[in-house]
Chains A and B, each alone.
Chain A
């Protein structure tokens, strides 16, 4: 009996390792290839014989990738901050205040979450054209500044907190904003982390919207610039440069993931629990 169990365990490990290899090998290859000299990029080796940074140097030379890295960071930080602030105030009102139309707003939020983005894409572009916001920094942030998902997450978190906490704060003379951000926030840390991670990743990886509303290379986000670079002519036949761009795009997220992987996975699991 005991022997049978150990065979099963070995089989498990073999299967798990094979699966893990399938998911990790391409990334390792990508990092290896980005460091390889041109003639070696196309091979399967993980470790180039003469590691070099020439691919990266060439990339920095050809496209404003450093600039786009900063753009992406700024956009993601601003979007995330706004999502957390608006999500909290709206979620708080829905969870802890009585007012006319509260239920209606809640239904609207649930409905907008299930509305496919294809309907709003073109009109939103046109709105941006009319507001003269195309090719500005704001246009990358504003349409994502309020997230229905974040509102629902905060609403749920605030509902779980006792009313006494709010009443006590009020007696102490806190106004509503102080209650939300100074009294309640420290009590819902898991929700804060989840919302922050999800909106940061969402913003960092967003590519369709920037492709539509930004044409000025100096304002482009990194995924957008890398996409145009990979699709357009400037990268063709220069595989190494293309791979280097992909590495630079993936690395920040991958490093963050290594540090916070538990939070990441829990956050993502909660996206499936909506609805």
Chain B
């Protein structure tokens, strides 16, 4: 108690040093002001303005025109937009499970005390830190039809050339594999952190009971790291929904619009066709959709845990 009072006296003395007493009260606000300005300019205003735009037709150059709900009804009848949503979902359908399984498997391998483990950990992580542009250019070469390295590697096994990026049935899944290759290292690390929190006594006890490795994994490891699993699912859902640069560089949305992702379509509407109002509507709707999906996922998870 005495200490508390002392500090208060000292604070009062200190505050006398600053120009005025009023300044002290303002100080916290001064310190948070960068964030307040930032949020007003780059978050609050844009969200409101985006909503406003959804009721207008605008190509940036000529004046805005109020068109009521026309953008929304257009959205619901725009088969290309729904195709893009479908493509994104197809992408997620492969990307999320693949990411989950591969990253968990690699983390499981890394979670052994072996010599040189740091090297392996670093190598898995390399694609994570490198720009998506690099990864995309790289994989364009790997997946090429005539000269792609993967097709050439398959050749000796008598496998015919596969149109990884030109076959409409395959292209989006090729991109999903590539995106997994790029991001998996991050999730490996998250799983590794998770695996290391499992107390070793649990495994020892299970071994005494005669449990096999597989049983240990299934009954001890998995339940112990379920929060990490859910985190990985949510993070890769959010990441997957913003798929853009990969199809933009590799396929431009083709073949036959099968790799047109939702974000790529929103981008094209705004910056190729200059339909600002319509693109804003798509963006608004899409963001709403993502938030709904993530909230539903979170609710399901909370129920499970």
Contact = CB atoms under 8 A, between A and B. Distances in A.
Q: How large is the interface on B (under 10, 10 to 19, 20 to 34, 35 or more residues)?
A: 35 or more
B190 interface: yes
B161 interface: no
Interface in B69-88: none
B46 A123 contact: yes
Contacts of B127: 23
A104 B271 CA distance: 36
Given A102-B28, A116-B291, A173 B137 contact: no
Interface stretch (B36-44, B91-99, B200-208, B216-224): B36-44
B124 A212 contact: no
B269 to A, nearest CB: 9
B101 interface: no
B63 interface: no
Interface in B24-49: 25, 27-29, 31-32, 34-36, 38-39, 41-43, 45-47, 49
B128 interface: yes
Interface string B174-203: 000000010001110110010000000000
29 contacts: A19-B109, A19-B124, A20-B123, A23-B127, A26-B138, A97-B28, A97-B31, A105-B35, A118-B290, A119-B287, A120-B42, A120-B47, A121-B266, A122-B276, A122-B280, A123-B45, A123-B50, A126-B49, A145-B34, A145-B38, A173-B14, A207-B131, A208-B244, A208-B267, A249-B133, A269-B193, A271-B186, A272-B187, A272-B232
Interface in A208-227: 208, 211-212, 223, 226-227
Interface of B: 7, 10-11, 14, 17-18, 25, 27-29, 31-32, 34-36, 38-39, 41-43, 45-47, 49-50, 53, 60, 106, 109-110, 112, 114, 118-134, 136-142, 147, 149, 152-153, 181, 185-187, 189-190, 193, 231-232, 235, 238, 241-242, 244-245, 248-249, 252, 263, 266-267, 270-271, 276, 279-280, 282-284, 286-287, 290-291, 294
Nearest to A269: B189
A53 B29 CA distance: 55
B249 A230 contact: yes
Nearest to B15: A170
Label chain A's interface by main secondary structure: helix
Given A23-B127, A122-B270, A123-B280, 9 more contacts: A90-B31, A116-B242, A116-B286, A118-B242, A123-B46, A127-B46, A257-B122, A268-B125, A272-B232
Interface string A153-182: 000000000000001001101011000000
